[in-house]
Structure formats: C-alpha cells, structure tokens
Amino acid sequence: MRRLLAYLWFDFVMTVTGVLPDLIPITRFRGLLLRPALRSCGANFQIARRVTVNFPNCMDVGRDVFIGVGAWLHAAGGITLEDGVQLGPYVALVTGDHTMKDGSYRYGASKRAPIRLCSGSWVGAHATLTKGVTLGRGSLVAANAVVTTSIPDFTLAAGVPARVIKRLVQDEILQEQC
C-alpha cells in the first residue's frame, strides 16, 4: 500500500507542478512536496520537471541534492543519493536488468542491485549508471557515459563503457570553481 501511495503522490506532484518553470524556488518546492514519497530525504532537495522515479519508496536522498530535467530513475533495487549530488538532464539510473527465459528477455526474472552516488558527485547529461554501481565522493561522470562498474573517489569517468580518465584533486576542483 505504501508503494502505491508513493507512486500516486509522486505522479500527482510532478503533474501538477510540471507546468511551472524550473526556477530554484520551484524546484525546491517540488522537492519539498515529494519528500513523503521517498524512503528518506534531506533538506533542500531540488527536482526539475519531467523526472520519472519508479519505486520512489526505495530511494534515499541526502541534503542539497539536485535532479535535472527528464531524468529517469529505476529505484527497485535501491538508489542512494548522498549529500550534494547532482544529476544532469536526462540521466538514467537503472538498478535492474533482465535475464533470459525460454529464449526471451521479456519473461526472465530481473536482477537488481543498488546504486549509490556518494557525497558531492555529479553525473553529466544523458549518462547512464547500471545496477550495482557506486560513484565515489566528488567524482564526475561525463555526459553520455555508460557506467557499468564502480568509480573511485575524486575521479573523472567518461566513455562507453565509462572508464576513469583523470584523477581529480580536491584543491584543483575548488580553484576551478572560483
């Protein structure tokens, strides 16, 4: 029953607020309204329009998290977005995949594993993270990457499949932001 109510509330809020622009006060308001649909949610959760979350009751969101427009999150296996995580536009987080049965993937059981995005990580536009992936603290996934294995702390990953291409030093990150 809780799962059904979470779905209904999530869809209701996204539909009603979907006509509003993605200005900061509105994304914060939308995030505030969606808190009851999530397993847990910290302060200052911001969520843009056209985001889909399947199984929102299996999702934990930390403080200061932002989810960009059009993101698609399949949380059946569990998704954890720690403090300060950013998801760019049209990101896909997929906690399950299919197995074959009788020669078809349509009828096979799904395999699920959680996805965890650690504090301060950022996933660029159109990137996909698959089941069982952990994205380390302060890490960046480049746009259009497909992440199939975990990424260590403070690294930049890119490509299909994604691989670490650069180690990020915290001081360099701070200097680049100034």
Residue 178: which pLDDT band, with cuts at 50, 70 and 90? very low
Q: What is the DSSP-derived secondary structure letter of residue 136?
A: P
User: pTM for the full model?
Assistant: 0.89
Per-residue pLDDT of 16-56, as tens digits, reads: 999 999 999 999 999 999 999 999 999 999 999 999 999 99
Select from 97, 98, 96, 99 the least CA-distant residue to 115. Answer: 96
Residue 177: which pLDDT band, with cuts at 50, 70 and 90? low
d(CA 102, CA 111): 17
d(CA 75, CA 91): 13
Contacts of residue 38, defined as CB under 8 A and 6 or more positions apart, other chains included, come to: 6, 56, 57, 59, 60, 61
Per-residue pLDDT of 50-84, as tens digits, reads: 999 999 999 999 999 999 999 999 999 999 999 99
Q: Please give the class, per CATH, of domain 2-177.
A: mainly beta
Per-residue pLDDT of 131-168, as tens digits, reads: 999 999 999 999 999 999 999 999 999 999 999 999 98
Average pLDDT of span 92-104: 92
